[in-house]
A = this chain, B = another copy of it.
Amino acid sequence: MVCKVQYYEKPVLNNPVLIEGLPGIGFVANITALQLIKELNAKLFAQIQSSYFQDLALTTGNGKTYFPTNQFYYAKGKDGKRDIIILYGNTQALTTIGQYELCGKILEISEDLGCKYILTVGGLRTKEKITNPDLYCTASDKETLQEALDLGAKIMKGHIFGVAGLLVGLCKLYEINGLCLLAETTGLYPDPVATRRVLKVINEMLNLKINLENLSEATEETREILKSFGIVSHSAVEKKGREADFRWFI
C-alpha cells in the first residue's frame, strides 16, 4: 500500500495554502496545527496511512485508540482571504524512503487541491531556554524567502531534517512554492512560546487573527497525548528519541 489516502470529502478550495504540522522538535508544528484547527474551526477531510509508519496500535485507557496517521483539515477563508489546508498528525515516516513517499503523497494531494503554496513549521534546537525566540526561514525561491525576511525571520543556516525540510525541497517538482519557518526552542517539551513566534508570522502572512495568548489548550492536548503514551515524564520528551521506532510518533 505504501501510502493509502482516505477522503471523507473533496473540498473545492480558493488558492489554498497548506500548513504542515507534524511532530518534531518542541512539537511546535503540532501545537501550531492544533491551534489553527481550533481557531479556524477546520474540518477533517482526508487522512494518510503509510507502510512506513509504526506497525502498532496504541490505547490509552479511556477507550480511545490511536494509530499512526496523518490528517488533512481545511478552513474556508473569510472576506476573500485564501483557504487553508492544515496537515496534522501523530507521526512522520520511519525511514528516509518513507519520508520521501509521504512527502510525495502530500504534494500530490496539494496539487490536486490547487495548492500553490506550502508552509512548513518546526523548532530549531537551542541549548538555553529562550524567552524571545528568533524565527529562522528557508524557501524554495527568492521571492518566498524575501516575504519571510520582511516579516522579521532570519536566514536559516544548517540542516533541516524531516518533512519540514523535505516538503520545501520537493515542492518545486510540483510547481509549488515552499517556505519553512523554524522557531528557537530547547525542544525539551511541547513549547507554546516558540509556537507563538511562528503563529505571529502566520497571522501576518495570511492576514489571520489566530489567538496567540491562549495556546495552553493545544499545548496541553499535545502533552496529554505524549503522557498517555508513556513518552513524557514531567517536562522532558527527550526520552522519546531513544527508541528508534518512536522517532516521530507522539
Contacts and interface: CB of A to CB of B under 8 A. Distances in A.
A54 B96 contact: yes
Interface string A67-96: 110000000000000000000000000101
Contact of A59 (B59, B100, B156, B161): B156
Given A55-B162, A56-B161, A96-B94, A170 B61 contact: no
Given A159-B58, A180-B57, A50 B165 contact: no
Interface in A44-71: 49-63, 65, 67-68
Interface in A111-133: none
B155 A63 contact: yes
A166 interface: yes
A49 B173 contact: yes
Given A140-B65, A169-B67, A160 B100 contact: no
B97 A160 contact: no
Contacts of A52: 96-97, 100
A242 to B, nearest CB: 15
Interface string A130-173: 00000000111010010000000001111111100110111011
A6 interface: yes
Interface in A20-45: none
A60 to B, nearest CB: 6
A99 interface: yes
A60 B157 contact: yes
Contact of A97 (B51, B138, B173): B51
B157 A59 contact: yes
B169 A51 contact: no
Q: Which 8 A-B pairs have the closest CB atoms?
A: A57-B165, A51-B100, A67-B169, A1-B104, A61-B157, A55-B99, A57-B160, A59-B138
11 contacts: A1-B100, A55-B162, A57-B180, A58-B158, A58-B160, A59-B138, A63-B145, A65-B138, A65-B139, A65-B140, A96-B245
